[in-house]
Amino acid sequence: MTSQTAGLLGIGLVLFTGFALTLLTLLYKRFPLHFRTIHAFLRIRRAASLVVEDGTRLHVSIGSANLLSPSCASALAGLALIRHLGEVTSLSDHPPITTTGSPTLNLLAQDTLRTAHESVATEQAFDMNNGRLTGLTPLSYIAGVMPSIRDENISNNILIGNFGPEVGLLTEAAERQKTPVIAASESLPAQAVLYATNQAPLIGEELFAAGAYTQAEPAHAASLTVQDLLRWLIILALIGGALLNMAGIL
């Protein structure tokens, strides 16, 4: 395959994705899509509802990924979750807090919290300290998160982002405070640790469905369907290529 052919295929894939996303978004506005049940997202919804009633806080940590790295995708899923939880819980006496290990992610988290706060038109002024940069290295970041889990009257911890095996220290800290943890990461070592230490882990690509399961907007639902379409296209291309190779055509 020449570079020109590969380029044309890439452009075609982008155009197909954009067309499918637009079409399905318009379709789901009229015919809402129902997803399979993922218990972790049910627990997130329940936690957001209880926070307003019992006067506690939600804590969302989105890791320490670089915005220019592929691992940032999990943090962006965490930001979508922060927006929804911020809108639901900003009316409570104790708005949610976020922790990050990256300056750029921290700015995005603060801006997302502020936008969510302003969208519900509360009279209380937004506190930028609710979005916190706790450390610039993996271990310093984890060490900086621990006091928030211990001292901020946290009722639920949501860990969605890029973490390493050290995330087990956060789940242990939450366990000592007897506060539930809902966690997900695109990192395989972190997934292994979370699966062993967490009662409600999100496995694999489930973390990228956070926006669709919590906000339930047509665009989020359409994006999940487009992901499935692209996945089937890749599977069919692999099978077709294998068959053509066996037939001696390729």
Tens digit of each residue's pLDDT (9 = 90 or more) over 95-117: 889 999 889 899 999 998 888 88
| Segment 230-244, tens digit of pLDDT | 888 889 988 988 888
Question: Hey, what CATH class is 36-234 in?
Answer: alpha beta
Task: Give mean pLDDT, residues 115-121.
Answer: 78
How do the domains of the chain map onto residue ranges? 36-234
| Segment 166-209, tens digit of pLDDT | 998 999 998 888 888 888 888 888 888 888 887 777 877 777 77
The closest of 134, 87, 76, 156 to 109, measured between CA atoms, is 76
Rounded Cα distance between 222 and 21, Å, is 6
Rounded Cα distance between 181 and 158, Å, is 6
Q: Is 57 helix (H, G, I), strand (E, B) or coil?
A: strand
**8 or 170, greater pLDDT:** 170
131-133, strands of its sheet edge to edge? 131-133, 97-100, 57-63, 154-162, 181-184, 200-201
| Burial (Cβ within 10 Å: 0-12, 13-18, ≥19) of residue 192 | middle
